[in-house]
């Protein structure tokens, strides 16, 4: 679905993406992992068109995404820190997003129901806690039934119950044949979710493997441990 070819990006002298190539297919849940400053967020932003790579091409369903914006109709994005205009109500944010997407019927309101967002529709964004804002962001990402979900540190601010509900939703969506891209520091959260791992360091893509391959290579059953092993070996 998404193909990256020789993507490089430099911020000043810092090379944040260094010749990254890979591809992601549907019905996968891919975890994007790496230490701080390894280029995960930049990679995601490149896919979303927020960062424009210095070189290389990104194709989405076979189409080059540069100078294109319609492809994002297929993407649901949940940012690391959601911030919405202070004086809008949740209802208005939802309404605005519906306006933007131009889809009114056939919405996926599972998360809205699960997180009871409906009870908060008249609350202003500035009055909400971080966790509630994350719930709104999550609900928005899934609302329009996109075929690709990009989730940046999704479970960071969620309480355990919400976190659990959210994971179930991700799995369900993956099983429906969608592509899910997740970055997270909390590896334990990813354990039963992900099917593939992309590991990045210093702007380079170190590997892109299925979780089975990773287990086989490291001999560790748990994701946390296998990743830790990878990290250690890479530090050396």
The sheet with strand 63-64 has its strands ordered as 14-24, 2-11, 55-60, 63-64
The answer to the question of residue 72 lying near another protein (CB under 8 A) is yes
The answer to the question of residue 106 lying near another protein (CB under 8 A) is no
Give the Cα separation of 192 and 227 in Å (integer): 14
The answer to the question of residue 77 lying near another protein (CB under 8 A) is yes
The answer to the question of residue 233 lying near another protein (CB under 8 A) is no
Give the Cα separation of 98 and 172 in Å (integer): 23
Residue choice 14, 23, 25, 52 for contact with another protein (CB under 8 A): 52
Nearer to another protein, 137 or 201 (CB): 137
* Listed residue (65, 9, 19) closest to 42, CA to CA: 9
Residue choice 60, 71, 115, 199 for contact with another protein (CB under 8 A): 71
Residue choice 36, 87, 104, 119 for contact with another protein (CB under 8 A): 87
Nearer to another protein, 130 or 222 (CB): 130
Give the Cα separation of 146 and 143 in Å (integer): 8
Nearer to another protein, 15 or 209 (CB): 15
The answer to the question of residue 166 lying near another protein (CB under 8 A) is no
* Listed residue (162, 153, 183) closest to 80, CA to CA: 153
Say which residues have a Cβ less than 8 Å from residue 211's Cβ, sequence separation at least 6: 194, 195, 196, 197, 223
The answer to the question of residue 142 lying near another protein (CB under 8 A) is no
Give the Cα separation of 78 and 152 in Å (integer): 6
The answer to the question of residue 101 lying near another protein (CB under 8 A) is yes
Nearer to another protein, 47 or 227 (CB): 47
Nearer to another protein, 86 or 192 (CB): 86
Tell me which H or E stretch contains 197: strand 196-201
Per CB under 8 A, residues contacting another protein are 9, 11, 45, 48-52, 69-73, 75, 77, 79, 81-88, 92, 95-97, 99-101, 150
């Amino acid at each position: 679905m998404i193909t990256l070819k020789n993507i490089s990006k430099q911020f000043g002298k810092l090379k944040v993406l260094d010749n990254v190539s890979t591809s992601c297919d549907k019905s996968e849940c891919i975890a994007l992992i790496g230490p701080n400053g390894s280029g995960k967020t930049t990679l995601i932003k490149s896919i979303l068109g927020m960062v424009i790579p210095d070189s290389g091409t990104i194709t989405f369903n076979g189409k080059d995404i540069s100078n294109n914006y319609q492809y994002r109709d297929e993407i649901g994005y949940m940012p690391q820190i959601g911030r919405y205009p202070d004086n809008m109500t949740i209802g208005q944010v939802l309404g605005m997003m519906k306006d933007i997407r131009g889809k009114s019927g056939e919405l996926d309101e599972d998360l809205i129901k699960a997180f009871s967002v409906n009870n908060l529709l008249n609350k202003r964004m500035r009055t909400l806690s971080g966790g509630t804002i994350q719930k709104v962001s999550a609900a928005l990402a899934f609302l329009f039934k996109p075929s690709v979900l990009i989730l940046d540190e999704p479970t960071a601010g969620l309480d355990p119950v919400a976190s659990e509900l959210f994971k179930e939703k991700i799995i369900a969506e993956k099983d429906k044949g969608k592509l899910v891209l997740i970055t997270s520091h909390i590896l334990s959260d990813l354990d039963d979710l992900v099917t593939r791992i992309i590991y990045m360091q210093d702007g380079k893509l170190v590997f892109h493997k299925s979780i089975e391959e990773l287990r086989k290579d490291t001999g560790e059953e748990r994701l946390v441990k296998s990743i830790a092993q990878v990290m250690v070996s890479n530090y050396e």
